[in-house]
Amino acid sequence: MNHEHETQGAPLEAEVARWRADLGARHFSDDGRTLRGSIEWNGPSGPATALVEVDPGESFPFAPPAIRVLDPGADVELTFHLDVPVGDHQHGTLCLWDDEYTLDVAPWRDIDAVITRARTWLEDTAEGWPSDDTCDLERYLPSAGRMVLYDGETLKDLRGTCVRVTGKATPIVTITTEQGLQRRHRGRRLPARKDRKLCWIGDLGQVDRPIRNWADLRDALGEHGRDVESKIRLGIVQFLLLEYRRGGNSAVLALVVRPVPGATGLNVAAAEAADISRTSRMLRGRPSQHRTSRTLGRDRRRRGSRLLRRRPPVPIRHPQAHHDRLRTHTPRQRCTTPDRRPDRRHVQGACCPIAPRPPRSGRLPDPPDS
């Protein structure tokens, strides 16, 4: 068994070794784990040379290698299609491939394809990703581990206002349409208990850079940034529901913002957002599921009739002599006479759906003489 696994792993180890050797031939230094080298690309003001770090990882070649930009070689801000930095790294890994590939067609197995992809990524970043319409701002923030439910149709007219939420202490938070109010107490504006931890509804418009911290979010809020920050520090606002656009697509970003104890900054985390409006639910469902009540009622009646037809007949033998023959009927049918009129001598009993009615004397009559 072990010999079989060693036989299957030998070609993969040879491929990884060859892949590292190809990068070494392009003047990449190898310390046994990561490789560092330079990639030439067309910067905004002319040719530039970027310093990158390549880490194949343990899952290579089944998964793409992790590539990080240590120095772009030009005055360029790394914005989109970049993972959150991990550990001591200043920048996260580049998102070079959106689709998943099988091992036989994986493009990262070719060194030239990897370098060309990284060069294209740098050039698109310098141009500001003009043709990109991916709405994924939540990937650049840490996860809050919560779900925010909202009705996109009713919240369109509440932009710039604070609304109340339900389930503040639960993993699932629902945004309502009830606006939060404030009461005056001795000349000061103090938030009431029901007016704490509200949700502020806003619109960021067209977004040209990701949001990674509160400073980026305050700049994106524009003229509302200072007012929202003061409400967060007072405990009035804790959730933000922000609509934004990338290219021709639009999306909603749900955030959980809290003051950092013992510090002046604010902690920003992203939550999963789900639109529970009727239109959104109909778009997510299949067209065949959207049937009227009349259609549903007809289907129930048809299903019930099919169940009745499938029910096997129950044979019942009556003790009377004139009913000594075997009669079969379903529990829903009534015992009838030959002229198809209901037989009143039979009533429903406990052990039989249709049982004979006992005589008044308490004993069965004698059978007729043959």
- The domain spans of the chain are 2-127, 137-284, 312-370
Backbone phi and psi for residue 118, each to the nearest 5 degrees, phi listed first: -65, -35
Would you state the pLDDT for residue 123?
94
CB neighbours of 280 closer than 8 A, spacing ≥ 6? 152
Would you state the pLDDT for residue 357?
53
Would you state the pLDDT for residue 368?
61
CB 149 within 8 A of CB 172: yes
**Rounded alpha-carbon distances, angstroms, from residue 44 to 17, 164, 358:** 36, 47, 103
* 22: nearest Cα among 66, 51, 50, 54: 54
List pLDDT tens digits, range 149-161: 998 888 888 888 8
- The bridge status of strand 266-275 relative to strand 143-150 is parallel
Distance from C-alpha of 123 to C-alpha of 40, rounded to nearest angstrom: 11
Distance from C-alpha of 39 to C-alpha of 69, rounded to nearest angstrom: 10
List pLDDT tens digits, range 279-337: 776 666 555 444 444 555 555 555 555 555 555 555 544 444 444 444 444 444 445 55
Neighbours of 54 (CB within 10 A): 22
Angle at 331 between CA 329 and CA 336, to 5 degrees: 50
Would you state the pLDDT for residue 97?
87
Distance from C-alpha of 241 to C-alpha of 210, rounded to nearest angstrom: 16
Q: What pTM value is reported for the model?
A: 0.67
Instruction: Sort 144 into a burial class: Cβ within 10 Å, 0-12 / 13-18 / 19+.
Output: buried
Would you state the pLDDT for residue 325?
45
- The bridge status of strand 35-43 relative to strand 46-55 is antiparallel
DSSP strands (E only) in 151-303:
162-166, 172-179, 183-185, 188-190, 198-206, 237-246, 249-259, 266-275
Would you state the pLDDT for residue 120?
94
Residue with tokens 């075997």, as numbered in its chain:
326
Would you state the pLDDT for residue 275?
87
Domain 2-127 classified CATH 1.10.3470? Answer: no
CB 236 within 8 A of CB 196: yes
Give the pLDDT means over successive 10-residue stretches in the chain (370 positions). Answer: 48 88 92 92 92 91 92 91 78 84 90 94 91 89 91 84 89 88 54 80 91 92 92 91 91 92 86 83 57 52 54 51 45 50 49 50 57
